[in-house]
Chain A
Amino acid sequence: MHEPLGASGLILNERLLWEKGRKGRSGFSMPESDVPSSPLPPDLVGDGPDFPDLSEVDVVRHYTRLSTWNFGVDTGLYPLGSCTMKYNPKTNERQAGLSGFSNSHPLLPESLCQGALRLMADLERFLAEITGMDAVSLQPAAGAHGELAGMLVIHAWFKQKGDSRSKIIIPDTAHGTNPASAALCGYSPVPVSSSAEGILSPEAIAAVMDEETAGIMVTNPNTLGLFENHLKAISEIVHAKGGLVYADGANMNAVMGIADMGRIGVDVLHLNLHKTFSTPHGGGGPGAGPVCVKKHLEPFLPVPRIIQKDTGQYALSEDFPESIGKLLTFHGHFGVLVRAYSYILSMGAEGLKKASQLAVLNANYLKEQLKDTFHLAYDRPCMHECVFSDRYQQAYNVTTLDIAKRLMDYGYHPPTIYFPLVVHGALMMEPTETESKEDLDQYIDALKKIAEEAKETPDVLRAAPTRCKVRRLDETAAARKPCLAG
């Protein structure tokens, strides 16, 4: 028997930055001036921002202490469902930090930035191959931004045909970004429920799809961790009414080398490079949300596009008159693209497929080991994630929130909770392929112990966590009288 993973160690308190400042200190090596002073007219000059003056040691201790209050993938298992918190390889950081990649200016003449353009052109090709789509833009900055790009492409396609549609079908399992992105294009969502199997039925879509509806936004595999088996038939229904199929590729990690989104009938799809392609989540970004389309939608992709000239040189082209325009100032989150490119080159086709297979194996293993302990919303083979609920624990007045908070004491980041909304009290777990059997077994063991505690000593759960920097925080009071700056 191992000692439990969660343990208490020494961490240090740390004041706010401005409580540590003392005038006369500095943490910056100021370059000598080698030019004469040239003051601005005094009426333009302000007092300067009220930043605290700190020494280099002050700054280093401050952020080192803060970092110890955090939990990352490098700390341990982070089974946040639909977020794909897989290991972020260190070699990718090395590559992104190379001077050419990290210091080059986005407005350089093309002859001076061939390395960056070639990397982007290659990455576009790789992503098209992995998804089964025809063309890719790397410009969107995050998943929701990729969704917006996809919706704008659909909007532009209808506009070019002189067809204005007002609605879009969005299943009840969708992430909240889906309806919010559609709203930016003026589409109002038409909700549809998933069937008893947890997936969409062609009948439900046929009942709502009409010629006022631009199409459907569907996450595949969906947020219940299930493959949308009827998507091909659904695509045909949508296409028959002149609509388009948008797929949210947030869960692509389940099906690399296995499913072909193009063949299924998907017209537009976005990927999250910070999920499937292992770039670090950074405490909430930056990510990258490339948008992939079939041939008929290529003219609408954001500009500039990367093109290859007859000479073999790469160039940036604005010459796409039907394009939706620009979505970001420059060429996307290039630093993130370098990491994803480096990951794909490290894994190869075989490695990526293996990653998907093992991600699905881990999720199914977890599901089978825990389904007697926690209520499993849909008891059928899953993809990369599985969704439990607190139904068995409700008898002891223990909730999903209590279970999640208690997991922290055992040394784990909690899963995604209360999402998808279709499962009451959802606990959505995505272990990813980079967790070993030993680590999963220890996690399963912790969850089983928590379920026993729920029966025997439920107050322990309700008081959790007790081993973190702070105990449970009062979020309601924080929102009532918000204090957003010091």
Chain B
Amino acid sequence: MITMRYLPHTPEQIQQMLTVAGADSLESLFSGIPEECRRLQEMNLPEALSEWALNRHMDALSAGLAVSPEYKIFIGAGRYDHHIPATVSSLKSRSEFLTAYTPYQPEISQGTLQAIYEYQTLAARLMGVDVVTASHYDGATALSESLLMAIRKTRRKRVVLSSLIHPYYRRVAQTYLEPAGFEIIELPFLENGLTDLSLLEGAVDIAAVALQSPNFFGCIEDLKAGGQKAHEIGALFIVGFTEALAYGLLKSPGSQGADIVFGEGQSLGIPIAFGGPGLGMLGCTPEHTRNLPGRLVGKAKDMDGKNGFVLTLATREQHIRREKATSNICSNNSHCALTAAMYMASLGKSGFCDLAILNHDKAAYLCRGLSGAGFKMPFQGTFFNEFVVEFPEELETLYQRLLEKKIVAGLPLSAFYPELSHHYLLCVTETASREDMDALIREVTPCMNP
């Protein structure tokens, strides 16, 4: 028996407690379970490891993963490598936050509640909306929930999605919407890397039009135009993002006419962690508040008139409304929302805007460098910290060789858009140095003139 350090019972205590419980042995506590429901054999699992053996095993597994700064990884596409201040890592680990559950009992959970209220406020300011929920699982599920909101509100069964919304987000939306019989229509993209809105003219019976900006190619969409077109056909206008930092620089989705805003908040101080957990952000204008899915924290007064916070508008939720609830969501990604609030507070407006500018400047540097080396930039739209390059066919073999040199030269797009063979999506954040980018340019240049 190697580790029982989480189990505090001594053999004598087990005996005393069994006597109180009226059982002869630990096994006999389960004597009511019929034989036909029991396991026939003991569980076949690896032998328990000591803490030190576990450390060795986990160190070895973890070492089998490529991470910066050892590797120079120019991939974003929904997960972004940003510096995380030590304060954020340290404060979020405080076990009063980490080992509590959903604040059902507000008097004993005011720390979580005030922190989430502050998250809702900062996130609303970032997204340019009035209300933001306490969190969803990730950007894709936040999109799916916004589409369902629009379907409930308009009582229409069709939604329109830009084909430049993250391909995985669109697939998640399909999983959520199709079984209940809702239809998804996709808008193609134009040569400039922006969504073709012309198909919206005269469209009928559409619950929502959804765009992502910066879109999957990194280009900044014309949200004002999208909003006008959506509203002309009586649809709600939904806007989202995969890179929250972009809104340190860009006009907020709410200010451009979005009714519902969704996004991924991983950039806000949350480690990439092989893609999860992230932070689903979802907000809206005030007229849609009572239609929002998921938890909300609101201000309240106690018996003495003192200020405090509670979970509120619970009558929308599954534990009260059951099958008529606005969503099935229960546990969300509260700890990630807490982390995001800590990050936004650490940067402040000045830091957040400066960091956004730095990200754009860096990406622009790489883009100019590659362009100068003769590579083609297929889309002319303005980008934030990601952009598409068309490399010559020769890059495919070079790409593999670069992996051995610990450079990941962007994300091949052909798996997502078959028509875009040899197109790569590149991302640069503040973590990439000029030297790293110069090295990438140097390494790929030979394939221009093989």
Beyond known contacts A33-B358, A99-B67, A176-B320: 10 more, CB 8 A cutoff? A67-B96, A114-B65, A176-B322, A232-B36, A263-B39, A326-B140, A358-B7, A364-B23, A470-B106, A479-B312
Return the CB mask of B308-330 against A: 1 if under 8 Å, else 0: 11101111011111111101111
A192 at the interface (CB under 8 A from B): no
Are the CB atoms of B327 and A180 closer together than 8 Å?
yes
- Please report the C-alpha to C-alpha distance between residue A473 and residue B32 in the assembled complex, in whole angstroms: 43
B272 at the interface (CB under 8 A from A): yes
Q: A83 CB to closest chain B CB, in angstroms?
A: 6
**15 contacting pairs across A/B (C-beta < 8 A):** A18-B118, A88-B95, A101-B62, A141-B276, A183-B323, A227-B37, A260-B39, A282-B98, A285-B332, A361-B9, A361-B14, A368-B22, A419-B319, A433-B6, A484-B117
Known A41-B382, A437-B17, A471-B304: A285·B350 in contact at CB below 8 Å: no
Residues of A within 8 A of B204 (CB): none
Of A75, A180, A433, the residue contacting B96 (CB under 8 A) is A75
- Please report the C-alpha to C-alpha distance between residue A281 and residue B347 in the assembled complex, in whole angstroms: 27
Known A115-B62, A346-B3: A63·B349 in contact at CB below 8 Å: no
Residues of B within 8 A of A25 (CB): 348
B439 at the interface (CB under 8 A from A): no
A321 at the interface (CB under 8 A from B): no
- Please report the C-alpha to C-alpha distance between residue A45 and residue B168 in the assembled complex, in whole angstroms: 28
Are the CB atoms of B140 and A328 closer together than 8 Å?
yes
Residue with the highest number of chain A CB atoms closer than 10 Å, among B7, B276, B334: B276
Are the CB atoms of B3 and A49 closer together than 8 Å?
no
Are the CB atoms of A66 and B114 closer together than 8 Å?
yes
Are the CB atoms of B8 and A63 closer together than 8 Å?
no
Within 8 A of A (CB), among B19-71: 20-23, 26-27, 29-30, 32-34, 36-40, 42-49, 51, 54-55, 57-68, 71
A348 at the interface (CB under 8 A from B): yes
B121 at the interface (CB under 8 A from A): yes
Q: B18 CB to closest chain A CB, in angstroms?
A: 7
Are the CB atoms of A227 and B79 closer together than 8 Å?
no
Residues of B within 8 A of A119 (CB): 61
Are the CB atoms of A48 and B298 closer together than 8 Å?
no
A9 at the interface (CB under 8 A from B): no
A422 at the interface (CB under 8 A from B): no
Residues of A within 8 A of B73 (CB): 105, 108
Are the CB atoms of A109 and B43 closer together than 8 Å?
no
- Please report the C-alpha to C-alpha distance between residue A151 and residue B368 in the assembled complex, in whole angstroms: 50
Of A257, A324, A477, the residue contacting B43 (CB under 8 A) is A257
A483 at the interface (CB under 8 A from B): yes
Residues of B within 8 A of A175 (CB): 319, 330
Are the CB atoms of B107 and A329 closer together than 8 Å?
no
Return the CB mask of A318-356 against B: 1 if under 8 Å, else 0: 000000111111111111101000101111111111110
Residues of A within 8 A of B299 (CB): 478, 483
A26 at the interface (CB under 8 A from B): yes
A30 at the interface (CB under 8 A from B): yes
Interface size for chain B: under 10, 10 to 19, 20 to 34, or 35 or more residues?
35 or more
Are the CB atoms of B87 and A44 closer together than 8 Å?
no
Are the CB atoms of B274 and A116 closer together than 8 Å?
yes
A95 at the interface (CB under 8 A from B): yes
Of A87, A152, A329, the residue contacting B138 (CB under 8 A) is A329
The chain B residue with its CB closest to the CB of A66 is: B111
Residues of B within 8 A of A328 (CB): 137-138, 140-141, 172, 276
B397 at the interface (CB under 8 A from A): no
A204 at the interface (CB under 8 A from B): no
B362 at the interface (CB under 8 A from A): yes
Known A83-B101, A130-B43, A283-B103: A259·B33 in contact at CB below 8 Å: yes
Within 8 A of B (CB), among A33-64: 33-38, 40-41, 44-46, 48-54, 56, 59-60, 62-64
Residue with the highest number of chain B CB atoms closer than 10 Å, among A189, A358, A419, A434: A358
Q: A57 CB to closest chain B CB, in angstroms?
A: 9
Residue with the highest number of chain A CB atoms closer than 10 Å, among B61, B131, B297: B61
Q: A339 CB to closest chain B CB, in angstroms?
A: 11
Are the CB atoms of A477 and B62 closer together than 8 Å?
no
The chain A residue with its CB closest to the CB of B59 is: A98
Known A53-B348, A71-B96, A283-B338: A17·B49 in contact at CB below 8 Å: no
Return the CB mask of A86-108 against B: 1 if under 8 Å, else 0: 11110101111011111111111
Within 8 A of B (CB), among A151-189: 152, 155-156, 175-177, 179-186, 188-189
- Please report the C-alpha to C-alpha distance between residue A367 and residue B248 in the assembled complex, in whole angstroms: 55
A469 at the interface (CB under 8 A from B): yes
Q: Which of B153-161, B193-201, B227-235, B249-257 contacts A (4 or more CB under 8 A)?
A: B249-257
Q: Which of B175-183, B371-379, B442-450 contacts A (4 or more CB under 8 A)?
A: B175-183
Are the CB atoms of B274 and A188 closer together than 8 Å?
no
B411 at the interface (CB under 8 A from A): yes
Residues of A within 8 A of B118 (CB): 16-18, 486
Residues of B within 8 A of A413 (CB): 105, 108
- Please report the C-alpha to C-alpha distance between residue A141 and residue B360 in the assembled complex, in whole angstroms: 32
- Please report the C-alpha to C-alpha distance between residue A245 and residue B322 in the assembled complex, in whole angstroms: 20
Q: A474 CB to closest chain B CB, in angstroms?
A: 6
Are the CB atoms of B85 and A27 closer together than 8 Å?
yes
Are the CB atoms of B351 and A26 closer together than 8 Å?
yes
Are the CB atoms of A38 and B107 closer together than 8 Å?
no
- Please report the C-alpha to C-alpha distance between residue A451 and residue B42 in the assembled complex, in whole angstroms: 43
The chain B residue with its CB closest to the CB of A29 is: B85
- Please report the C-alpha to C-alpha distance between residue A330 and residue B181 in the assembled complex, in whole angstroms: 25
B81 at the interface (CB under 8 A from A): yes
Are the CB atoms of A405 and B115 closer together than 8 Å?
no
Of A115, A231, A232, A338, the residue contacting B63 (CB under 8 A) is A115
B405 at the interface (CB under 8 A from A): no
Residues of B within 8 A of A281 (CB): 99-102, 331
Within 8 A of A (CB), among B113-153: 114-118, 120-122, 124-126, 130-132, 134-135, 137-141
B333 at the interface (CB under 8 A from A): yes
- Please report the C-alpha to C-alpha distance between residue A70 and residue B99 in the assembled complex, in whole angstroms: 10
